[in-house]
Amino acid sequence: MKPLFIQYAKCGTCIKARKWLEAHNIAFDTRDIITQNPTEPELGSWLRDSSLPVQKFFNTSGLKYKELNLKDKVKTTPEDQLLALLASDGKLVKRPVLVFSDRVLVGFKEEEWAKTLL
C-alpha cells in the first residue's frame, strides 16, 4: 500500500518533501490538507501511530496558530479539545504528513524520512 502524502500545495516544506519522495522513487497518493481537512478520528489515529504528543501536530509558524494565540493554550488544553481544534482548520496542522498503515511522519526531516523509508 502506498503512503498518503498530505500537503498544502503552496507549502515550501511540502514541496521539498514531495521532491525528496520522487527522487527516491517512493510512490505515494496525495491529499490537500486545506480542501480535505483531517477529521478528529483520523488525527487520533495519526497521533497513536506517530507516538508524538498532540502538540507536535500544530503548525506553530502558521498565521492561524499565532492569531488564536495557541502557544500557551496547547500546553494546558485537553487532548480531545486539541484534536477538535486541529480538525477545524487544515492550516493548523503541521505538514506534510506521511501516513502509512502502521506509522505516521509529521513534518519533513530528511534524516528521519531516510531512516524510516530507505
Mean pLDDT by 10 residues, the chain (118 residues): 94 96 97 95 96 95 93 94 96 96 95 94
Global pTM? 0.92
pLDDT of residue 35: 94
Q: What is the pLDDT of residue 24?
A: 97
pLDDT value of position 15: 97
3-state secondary structure of 59: coil
Which CATH number belongs to the domain containing residue 11 in this structure?
A: 3.40.30.10
The 10 Å Cβ neighbour count of residue 106 is 21
- Residue 43 confidence (pLDDT): 97
Domain range holding 26? 4-117
Q: Give the pLDDT of residue 1.
A: 82
**How many other C-beta atoms are found inside a 10 Å radius of the C-beta of residue 40?**
14
User: Residues 34, 8: contact at Cβ < 8 Å?
Assistant: yes
- Residue closest to 4 by CA, chosen among 84, 95, 112: 95
| Eight-class DSSP state of 74 | H
DSSP H helix total and E strand total for the chain: 6, 4
DSSP state of 35: T
Quote the number of domains for the chain. Answer: 1
Q: Which amino acid is present at 113?
A: W
How far is residue 8's CA from residue 95's CA, in Å, rounded to a whole number?
7
